[in-house]
Structure 1
Amino acid sequence: MILGVTRNEELFEGIGESFLQLITLHQVAWRNWEKVGILLLGTSILIIIVDLLSNIIRKKFK
């Protein structure tokens, strides 16, 4: 967990990261490699989509 949280967003980011990390670590411990791969691929795709959308929004408001 994040120490010294100053904003609500930081708290939710920490909770989200911890949840995703917990799921991934459990799948690795259970040697469920297919779910680990899906989690990593899904997270990567989600990050790329959010980055592209933020770039589009940033260019519109510039």
Structure 2
Amino acid sequence: MLERQMRGEFQNGVRDAGGQGIDWTTRDGKPSGYEGYLADSFRFLQAVLLRERPFRDKLYRPLRSRE
């Protein structure tokens, strides 16, 4: 995933062209998305942040039971 990021294959922008957006790719890595923006593109960064306890606590705070 980080290699794809370094090659610029996590697109941060919108394309108005079907089948050219990097938001989804085929198994061999070719673009197959529509607009080029998809929230799952954030997941690689979220994975890095959630390694840190303060970020995890903040994310999961609404799910904790109120005791």
TM-score by shorter chain over 0.5: no
Q: In proportion to residue count, which structure has more helix?
A: 1
Q: Which of the two has greater strand per residue?
A: 2
Query: TM-score range with shorter-chain normalisation?
Result: 0.3 to 0.5
What TM-score, normalized to structure 2? 0.32
TM-score, with structure 1 as normaliser: 0.34
